[in-house]
Structure 1
Amino acid sequence: MKKKLLFLFGFVLLLSGSLLAQTKVGGIVLDDTNGPIPYANIYFKGTSEGVISDENGKFYLESPNNYTTIVVSFVGFAPKEITLTKAVSYGLTVKLSEGQELKELVLYSGKTSKKNNPAIDILRKIWERRRKNGLKMFDQYEFDKYEKVEFDMNSIDSAFMKRKVFKGMEFIFNHVDTSNVTGKTYLPIFINEALSNVYGDNVAKRKKEITKANKNSGFSNNQQVIAFIKDLYVDYDIYDNYLKFFDKDFVSPLSRTGINVYNYVLADSTFIEKKWCYNIVFYPRRKGELTFKGNFWVNDTTFAIKKIAMSASKEANINWVKDIYIEQEFDVLNDSVFLLKRDHMMSDFAISKKEESKGVYGKRTTLFRDYVFNKKKPDNFYTADVNKFDEAILTKSDEFWEENRFESLNKDEKGVYKMLDTLQTVSKFKRMYNLVATLGSGYYQMGHFDYGPIFSSFGYNDVEGIRLRTGGRTYFGQNDPWRVEGYVAYGFKDNKFKYGSSGKWMVNKDKRIILAGGNRRDVEQIGVSLTATSDVLGRSFASSSLFASGDNSKLTNVNFTTFSAEIEPFKNLVLRGSFNYRTLESASPSTFKMDYYLDPNDHSKGTKGSLKQYEFGFLVDFTPKRRTVGYGVERTDVDYNYTRIYLNFSQGIKGIMDSDFDYKKLQFYYRQPVLVGGFGRLFATLEAGKIFGEVPLGLMGIVPGNQSYFIIENTYNLLDYYEFVADEYVSLHFEHNFNGRLFSRIPGLRSLNLREIVGIKGIYGTVSQDNINMNASSIVYKAPDDLYWEYHAGIGNIFKVFRIDFAWRGGYRDVPGANMFTVKGVFGFHF
């Protein structure tokens, strides 16, 4: 997410009246004291086309039709009709006076009652029917879907256009237009279209979407942009209790818990397409919570939603997003079936939420048609394709799109394709784009070679002193079937070169059969993770003491070679077999020894300080609901909110290539994110392992400490490196992020949009007597056999980019020199 946000804001800094509209109107709604009226209802008379004023009473309304009157109303005030004398009417000031209750409707102002409220009575009927409406009424369904995603720079003005950065690119401003939601000027900079067929089976609870065509303008090979878009626009059901946007769980206005966070008002009723519907206005009970304001029309017999429009509260605890606007319309198929026909979402991204700040609009419009019901498919039809990619999907002709898209593009949307094609031929733009892409990906592209990662170019530790690193990888595109990468590093204190190289080749695309191999000779801090990884070129943050405390001399010279083969027989299930060979020895023998006795039962036979070991392994990696971008040998995760189950078995064999030990090692890892009913998200991580056989320090399970000043996932904040070792262990971590749910209810803290985090970690482990007897190193073998545990509490979203944690030691408090308390932080860009 951090890289995706860096790319988005880099793009903002880089590039930092619709002709179809017939009626535009905007202004502010005030009361008799000239105070703004938030959440007032504004609509064109005789229609259901309307909006809700924002927290400051401001509104903007636009329609492609000709209208001459708007109606402005709010609970407790007399409604007011305003005659429009021209097609475009900006800057209107509408004053409402306190009035009588509307006929046959009980109205409320401010916080509404949960009792004797007709709006909530209707809401309860919606709850009763929500699992019986729309597609849920049928055993099977299928339909056609068209999706259009667009990014636009907004708040374009003459001063912005005259900036020197745009010299030579002035032609892009020929496409400036006006938003029909906010009334602000904007410039289209990216557009993506997709056509697909969607199939579902409510009985088997399965769903499948097959993309028929996809087309976009510009940046189509940038994985950061593509991953950001996929994460930005996830599917949602307005009837669900919680709606996920920007990795945040908003409370739906139709949620069963909605009455605790929303005010509801029955505002109007009328016929819509010959169906009598009620209009219910909703707005937040408290500021700072992840809620919306808006209104919906609901049928009086089926209690199905006919139309809903809502926008996120400006006080919602979400970063970098000024506005979120959502609108859905449902078609009436017959007396009892309402089907979604149009879904529109617009987001206004900006560094600041100030009204005048410039940013980027993200807009998605999805249209649905040609519904078919109760047409059963074979069970294997819904089996997800592992890696199906058809180049023809991306190469459909303009004639195909003209014939098949559900609605025509307007002139600006058509022009953005041509404009971006032209823009990418401008040398100045290409240089700036490459700079932004480098910051987002960490690599600088030079032809088909990526230099980087640039953020690993400099380091420091007690053994190497100042360390410089250079390297890169091949890159022909996001769907490369093979990739080679490598690096060279040099330490100015030990005067030694280090290097690493690896290669991957996907020999079968359909089942993602990948062959890989590599070698790394380097200086590292081993034991920074309980569960082994397969990244041959990976280097942990702990290997550098640039921002670390305490002794950082317990580093190891590692020479590691690996070959592996993997297959993905089913979506998100990876099976891998590997052959590994490594040599280990202390990188600073004067201060840190890894020696072991050649005979644990007879120490007179001497010791050895280096280790040679061959092993083969097999792992299972299951990541249900994981979403990725790309079809090549490497893919990019869309987000990390998915379950992971990882099982790894390794067998060391003595004698092969002079290997020193026979052993078996079993490791299990399980990570589960859990949405806790609107109170944030809990992350639970379980790790367990056991070594069968006698092994020295280099092959032991080292409990991962954290001597840095930063928060590192799955490490123990108050443990030093090598403070505990184990040959069998169970570790459990819980961390819950309330996403500001508690702070939002505390006056004085509410406006800061801080987020509270709490967590607890514990590990139990043992070391066998045989392994203790083998140890001749400078490390005292200790294991947390009485359970080591610690807990922490943190505050996130400080200045939107910083989190600070306070951690306390709960176990082994009587150990001499033990750390009892620490403070750690981390920077990051998060919504």
Structure 2
Amino acid sequence: MKFFFTMKTKIVLFFFFLSISVLGQTKVGGKVMDEFGEPIAFANVIFKNSKEGVITDENGNFYFESSQNYSVLVVSYVGYEKKEISLKPGLNTGLKIQLQSGTVLREVVVYKGKTSKKNNPAIDILRKIWERRRKNGLKMFKQYEYDKYEKVEFDINTIDSAFMNNKAFKGLEFVFNQIDTSSISGKTFLPIFINETLSEVYGDNEDKKYKEITKANKNSGFGSGDGVNTFIKDLYADFDIYDNYLKFFDKDFVSPLSRTGINVYNYVLNDSMFIDNKWCYNIVYYPRRKNELTFKGDFWVNDTTFAIKKINLEASKSANINWVKEIYIEQEYDVLNDSVFLLKRDYMMSDFSFSKKEESKGVYGKRTTLAKNHRFDIKKEDKFYKKEVNFYDNAIYNKTDAFWEENRFEALNKNEAGIYKMLDTLKEVPRFKRIYNLASILGSGYVEFPKLNLDYGPIFSTFGYNDVEGQRVRVGGRTYFGPNDKWRIQGYTAYGFRDNQFKYGISGRWMVNPNNRLILSIGNRRDVEQMGVSLTTSNDVLGRSFASSALFASGVNNQLTSVNLTTLGFEIEPFKNFTFQTNLTYRTLKSASSEFSLDYYTDLSQTEIKSEVKQSEINFVAEFTPKRKTVGYGVDRLDVDFNYARVFLSYSNGLKGVLDSDFDYQKLQFYYRQPTLIGGFGRLFTTFETGKIFGEVPLGLMGVIPGNQSWFVIENTYNLLDYYDFVADEYASLHLEHHFNGRLFSRIPYLRKLNLREIVGIKGVYGRVSESNKMLNASGLNYVAPEDVYWEYHAGVGNIFKVLRIDFAWRGSYLEMPDARKFAVRASFGFYF
């Protein structure tokens, strides 16, 4: 909730003690320094006669806790005398521990700052890890199976007295009974959301197949709908520590076990000891440079298999990532036999906050994953791994409390168990309902009316402007019984105060067969629209282009079209992420402005002119979106993220004479979009579009090269073109845009602290217009096709104040065109990690 994150208050130490039970617990925190007061990074801090401990961070700080009582803390570091600290029962924070330099050092190398890539035993071990990384763990077997338990929790952190006494919590004071203290950071936190999942995992390394079957799911918290679940799935994507890059928050961090790790990390061989009867080396690693997407921490690796036994990763606080103050990961591997190390516990904690200042409030996101009951080399038939298109079993989400108590891999602690009860109570409090509803409106764009099963919205489309309608007001809504509705009706009406006309749109969709997502749809829309802002056309009956109405635009925007569109169609998803659609459409098109014409000649002698286009069409579409992840099982679904490839192929046939249709033609269109990770140098987005119209068509049905007369960055448009600058009945377009994610700016001393991000791109399009289509033209618009290839390029800076991107675009060709814009500045706003 937004108000949780914006209040600026100080931590009151009293509430640490108020929320901590000192019985049966030892909690310690502080700083390790040398005799000169300089911090000692990566020192070992451990409870005496135990294996419970941590290493200090780069500033010498540490904090950890144990459920046992310990009275002595042991602190050590290579080249310094070991020191023992007496502890009192319960909480021991603010410790200042000074180590003295040792008097005798034998064959000890102390690494400080950047470490050498040569003659470094840590890197020699790292090379052994690279050699064996595809032969460790589950990769050692042809097939594997195991049971999995996952727990995700969100907590408000840094709770203090001012926070609890805020008027916003009047009547909600009971929620603070659940306050606890983090074992990682030592901060107080209040649990607000929990999600538990039990599943079975199957994999085949020979055929490279994977399947996870959810057996049970339990969810409670401030949000239980698709929006929260979408965030969770994107936030906690699975990763393999042996991979070169690890994805978190749509960013690709360099793994400390990466083959390119020696270029971005320093490695130090710190210690060696027996762990579970296996001799292991301890290697400490930390970034070579600030502001890069890297970690710091340490790992234990076996001396014969070179498999990881334990590893922890903490994202560098200077890493170029927004809204996340801290990322901490722990993984522990179990020894199945002498040579098999299997991941048994994976813990990740993220601290979300508007500021990276230590005292700032935020929200912890925590995931714990446990694995057990591994089985190997059990071959499954190929059909077993066939992905369910839209499987939904309501029983999965309605397991009893007794079931969960029996089947959880580990019991919930007191605070976790209390979340369910606390939130069930909270949902009945009117004040909380009002706060929750406000957040829901801002997040979804819709105002809910649960008693009517209706939503009003989208609220962000209520107001608009264009040169034809003037000020425009829109009201609309949809049916909403739940996120997995099998049918939905949507509609709107709008009014323009300049043209004094009402517009409307209505559509209905019904999922006939949920298993293969067979959906029937019908709709009708009468509205004013800016045509030609996308090369690849859509059959969304309620879809209206961004350029049709806006509060801010550049240049004259009077080339709008009155559209009356009716569609009848169906779509089906026979295989996961492959859809097939067919639509029957009937549309009429005419100019919405006296300053713009869609006129065309109806005879070869060019004596008869018609101003309105009537057209019937049948359309077939195949779309493939590999690795696309969605949330929801109803007629509407949400994408988890947009970093997936999209292949789109469309064939349309004009049906002359059907419902008095004017033209007979065939249209082919192909669209391909591919995001590609470029080895730690960011992500390249490639978009290719091509198409051709066979037959004669007027301007209203012609392909228009999409311009951009807004002040904003609009994907797949040309920043320096106006609408209808270029038209074409055959075309090929290529857009390349690379996001470096701050990789370059992080190397510039005075820029690296700003965490800016670089974007560069180039766009080009080729097109032609047939002579027969030129002969049809009576609009007065001079057909110009980019036969000599129109191109432009741009460079931008993103992450300005964490929300702003500014692009500078230059025209590369057709500079002599009348009123040609040679330079433009575009901007966009958004909240991105």
TM-score by length of 2: 0.96
In structure 1, give the amino acid aligned to 2:417.
Answer: K
Q: Label 1:14 to 1:667 Cα distance change in 2 as closer, same or farther (>3 A).
A: farther
Q: Show the counterpart of 1:520.
A: 525
Contact kept in structure 1, 2:137 and 2:341, CA below 8 Å: yes
Alignment match of 1:753 (pick from 732, 752, 755): 755
- Once the two structures are overlaid, the 10-residue window that deviates more, 56-65 or 781-790, is 56-65
Q: Show the counterpart of 2:585.
A: 580
In structure 2, give the amino acid aligned to 1:226.
Answer: N
Q: Report whether the alignment pairs 1:459 with 2:464.
A: yes
The Cα shift of 1:621 comes to 0.9
Matches within 5 A, 1:60-209: 60-74=63-77, 77-99=80-102, 106-209=109-212
The Cα shift of 1:780 comes to 1.1
Alignment match of 1:402 (pick from 394, 402, 405): 405
Q: Report whether the alignment pairs 1:474 with 2:479.
A: yes
Alignment match of 1:791 (pick from 786, 790, 793): 793
Distance in 1, Cα, partners of 2:104 & 2:396: 57
The Cα shift of 1:710 comes to 0.2
Contact kept in structure 2, 1:22 and 1:66, CA below 8 Å: yes
Distance in 2, Cα, partners of 1:652 & 1:799: 50
Deviations 1:547-605 (A, max 9, x none): 1111100011011111111110000000011100111000002x111111112x3112x
- Provide structure 1 residue ranges, at least 5 long, that are not aligned to the other structure: 1-7
The Cα shift of 1:62 comes to 1.2
Distance in 1, Cα, partners of 2:103 & 2:722: 71
Q: Label 1:14 to 1:645 Cα distance change in 2 as closer, same or farther (>3 A).
A: farther
Q: Label 1:660 to 1:178 Cα distance change in 2 as closer, same or farther (>3 A).
A: same
The Cα shift of 1:53 comes to 3.0
Alignment match of 1:501 (pick from 482, 489, 506): 506
Distance in 2, Cα, partners of 1:226 & 1:418: 20
Q: Show the counterpart of 1:352.
A: 355
In structure 1, give the amino acid aligned to 2:599.
Answer: D
Q: Label 1:810 to 1:416 Cα distance change in 2 as closer, same or farther (>3 A).
A: same
In structure 2, give the amino acid aligned to 1:798.
Answer: I
Q: Label 1:460 to 1:425 Cα distance change in 2 as closer, same or farther (>3 A).
A: same
Contact kept in structure 1, 2:5 and 2:354, CA below 8 Å: no
Alignment match of 1:632 (pick from 622, 634, 647): 634
Alignment match of 1:559 (pick from 556, 564, 569): 564
The Cα shift of 1:95 comes to 2.2
Q: Label 1:78 to 1:118 Cα distance change in 2 as closer, same or farther (>3 A).
A: farther
Alignment match of 1:383 (pick from 381, 386, 393): 386
Q: Show the counterpart of 1:5.
A: none
Distance in 1, Cα, partners of 2:85 & 2:488: 65
- Provide structure 2 residue ranges, at least 5 long, that are not aligned to the other structure: 10-18
Secondary structure at 1:120 match in 2: helix
Q: Show the counterpart of 1:216.
A: 219
The Cα shift of 1:29 comes to 2.4
Distance in 2, Cα, partners of 1:15 & 1:503: 47
In structure 2, give the amino acid aligned to 1:593.
Answer: S
Distance in 1, Cα, partners of 2:490 & 2:8: 32
Contact kept in structure 1, 2:69 and 2:89, CA below 8 Å: no
Q: Show the counterpart of 1:267.
A: 270
Alignment match of 1:422 (pick from 425, 429, 434): 425
In structure 1, give the amino acid aligned to 2:640.
Answer: V
Q: Show the counterpart of 2:253.
A: 250
Contact kept in structure 2, 1:39 and 1:283, CA below 8 Å: no
Q: Show the counterpart of 1:26.
A: 29
Distance in 2, Cα, partners of 1:567 & 1:197: 28
Q: Report whether the alignment pairs 1:530 with 2:535.
A: yes
Q: Label 1:419 to 1:825 Cα distance change in 2 as closer, same or farther (>3 A).
A: same
The Cα shift of 1:811 comes to 1.2
Distance in 2, Cα, partners of 1:152 & 1:411: 14
Distance in 2, Cα, partners of 1:574 & 1:18: 54
Contact kept in structure 2, 1:719 and 1:819, CA below 8 Å: yes
Q: Label 1:102 to 1:726 Cα distance change in 2 as closer, same or farther (>3 A).
A: farther
- Once the two structures are overlaid, the 10-residue window that deviates more, 99-108 or 729-738, is 99-108
The Cα shift of 1:743 comes to 0.5
The Cα shift of 1:543 comes to 1.0
Q: Show the counterpart of 1:4.
A: none
Q: Show the counterpart of 1:713.
A: 715
Contact kept in structure 1, 2:193 and 2:223, CA below 8 Å: no
Deviations 1:518-569 (A, max 9, x none): 1110011011110011221112221124211111000110111111111100
Dislocated runs of 4+, deviation >6 Å? none
Deviations 1:127-162 (A, max 9, x none): 000000000000000000000000000001111100
Q: Show the counterpart of 2:322.
A: 319
Q: Report whether the alignment pairs 1:511 with 2:516.
A: yes
Q: Show the counterpart of 2:489.
A: 484
Alignment match of 1:596 (pick from 595, 600, 617): 600
Distance in 1, Cα, partners of 2:592 & 2:8: 49
Q: Show the counterpart of 2:779.
A: 777
Distance in 2, Cα, partners of 1:21 & 1:733: 62
Distance in 1, Cα, partners of 2:501 & 2:24: 69
Q: Label 1:51 to 1:539 Cα distance change in 2 as closer, same or farther (>3 A).
A: farther
What percentage of aligned pairs have identical amino acids? 69
Contact kept in structure 2, 1:40 and 1:74, CA below 8 Å: yes
Contact kept in structure 2, 1:536 and 1:562, CA below 8 Å: yes
Q: Show the counterpart of 1:303.
A: 306
Contact kept in structure 2, 1:803 and 1:826, CA below 8 Å: yes
Deviations 1:441-477 (A, max 9, x none): 1111111111100000000110001000001111111
Distance in 2, Cα, partners of 1:266 & 1:579: 68
The Cα shift of 1:109 comes to 1.2
Contact kept in structure 2, 1:459 and 1:546, CA below 8 Å: yes
Deviations 1:769-806 (A, max 9, x none): 11111111132100111111111000000000000000
Distance in 1, Cα, partners of 2:709 & 2:79: 61
Matches within 5 A, 1:805-824: 805-824=807-826
Secondary structure at 1:414 match in 2: helix
In structure 2, give the amino acid aligned to 1:479.
Answer: N
The Cα shift of 1:71 comes to 3.5
Secondary structure at 1:517 match in 2: strand
Q: Label 1:712 to 1:52 Cα distance change in 2 as closer, same or farther (>3 A).
A: farther
Distance in 2, Cα, partners of 1:37 & 1:152: 31
Q: Report whether the alignment pairs 1:655 with 2:660.
A: no
Alignment match of 1:289 (pick from 289, 292, 295): 292
Contact kept in structure 2, 1:239 and 1:255, CA below 8 Å: yes
Distance in 2, Cα, partners of 1:39 & 1:803: 38
The Cα shift of 1:68 comes to 3.2
Distance in 2, Cα, partners of 1:49 & 1:534: 61
Contact kept in structure 2, 1:149 and 1:191, CA below 8 Å: yes
Contact kept in structure 2, 1:75 and 1:109, CA below 8 Å: no
Secondary structure at 2:186 match in 1: coil
Distance in 2, Cα, partners of 1:143 & 1:736: 40
Deviations 1:800-830 (A, max 9, x none): 0000000011111121211111000000000
Distance in 2, Cα, partners of 1:487 & 1:773: 39
Secondary structure at 2:439 match in 1: helix
Q: Show the counterpart of 1:3.
A: none
Distance in 2, Cα, partners of 1:151 & 1:107: 40
Q: Show the counterpart of 2:769.
A: 767
Contact kept in structure 1, 2:745 and 2:757, CA below 8 Å: yes
Contact kept in structure 2, 1:663 and 1:694, CA below 8 Å: yes
Secondary structure at 1:603 match in 2: coil
Q: Label 1:674 to 1:102 Cα distance change in 2 as closer, same or farther (>3 A).
A: farther
Secondary structure at 1:472 match in 2: strand
The Cα shift of 1:11 comes to 6.6
Secondary structure at 2:410 match in 1: coil
Deviations 1:55-105 (A, max 9, x none): 443221112233333343456655544332433210001223444686565
